């Protein structure tokens, strides 16, 4: 059953369920469960394993000395985290990885991922290629966050983020992967200020929002 789950993830794309299952021992796989709010990795940790979320979700975040949290990304089922740090031995984590809900995580040793076994199996080569593509995608996600938080105003940040989500979904109605606090942390603003601005945008006829479901009622790209 796990092989079927893995074969449907981006990291194991192109492999069969049997091939994915067969690689687990070779990759030093280890599975562990986490409760909501439990830290998986701490800032300053040195890691050798990437994590793949099997169920639930995790947050990639940072906390400053004053207790302010900034959410950099949310990782859902089938997605991976910490792969960049695991690829660079001796580089300490600059972020925390926290379970956003009850989650199950599969850890894979990156050194074993990058070193093809003596059998030189084709599916292992696919795994390396997929890891490279995923790393490139992570860089794009980080670039988007920088773009979305470039505006000095909360409305500007919301316009940037929500416009992107609408384009990505191909519809003016869409669901974002964050709750209100997580969205505020992602955009680097206070939750109360974010809620106030969303209320103003609703009164201005720009959008309708219900929890994390948004419907844009105006073309935000012209604002």
Contact in structure between 83 and 131 (CB atoms under 8 Å):
yes
Query: 12-27: per-residue pLDDT in tens?
Result: 999 999 989 888 888 9
Q: What is the pLDDT of residue 219?
A: 64
Domains located in the chain, CATH noted:
2-145 (2.60.120.10), 154-222 (1.10.10.10)
Residue 35 neighbours by CB distance under 10 Å: 10
Q: What is the pLDDT of residue 92?
A: 96
Contact in structure between 32 and 102 (CB atoms under 8 Å):
no
Q: What is the pLDDT of residue 59?
A: 96
Q: What is the pLDDT of residue 26?
A: 84
Q: What is the pLDDT of residue 118?
A: 67
Low-confidence ranges of the chain (pLDDT < 50): none
Beta strands in the chain (DSSP E): 30-34, 39-41, 49-55, 58-63, 69-75, 80-81, 96-99, 103-109, 173-175, 207-210, 213-216
Is residue 87 within a helix (H) or strand (E), and if so which, with residue range? helix 83-87
Q: What is the pLDDT of residue 171?
A: 95
**What Rg, from alpha-carbon coordinates, does the chain have?**
19
Beta strands in 42-154 (DSSP E): 49-55, 58-63, 69-75, 80-81, 96-99, 103-109
Q: What is the pLDDT of residue 210?
A: 93
Q: What is the pLDDT of residue 125?
A: 86
Phi/psi class of residue 98: alpha, beta or left (left: φ > 0; alpha: ψ in -120 to 50)?
beta
Q: What is the pLDDT of residue 93?
A: 95
């Amino acid at each position: 059953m796990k092989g079927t789950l893995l074969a449907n993830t981006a990291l194991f794309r192109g492999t069969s369920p049997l091939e994915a299952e067969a690689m687990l021992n070779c990759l030093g796989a280890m599975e562990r469960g986490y409760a909501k709010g439990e830290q998986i990795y701490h800032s300053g940790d040195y890691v050798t394993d990437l994590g793949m979320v099997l169920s639930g979700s995790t947050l990639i975040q940072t906390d400053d000395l004053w207790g302010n949290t900034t959410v950099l990304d949310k990782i859902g089922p089938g997605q991976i985290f910490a792969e960049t740090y695991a690829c660079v031995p001796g580089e300490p984590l600059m972020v925390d990885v926290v379970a956003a809900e009850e989650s199950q995580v599969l850890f894979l040793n990156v050194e074993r991922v990058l070193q093809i076994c003596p059998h030189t199996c084709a599916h292992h080569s696919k795994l390396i290629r997929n890891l490279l593509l995923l790393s490139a995608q992570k860089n794009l996600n980080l670039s988007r966050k920088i773009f979305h938080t470039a505006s000095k105003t909360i409305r500007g940040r919301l316009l940037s983020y929500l416009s992107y989500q609408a384009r990505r979904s191909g519809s003016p109605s869409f669901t974002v992967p964050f709750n209100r606090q997580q969205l505020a942390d992602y955009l680097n603003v206070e939750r109360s200020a974010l809620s106030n601005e969303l209320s103003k945008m609703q009164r201005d006829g720009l959008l309708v929002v219900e929890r994390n479901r948004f419907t844009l009622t105006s073309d935000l790209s012209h604002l």
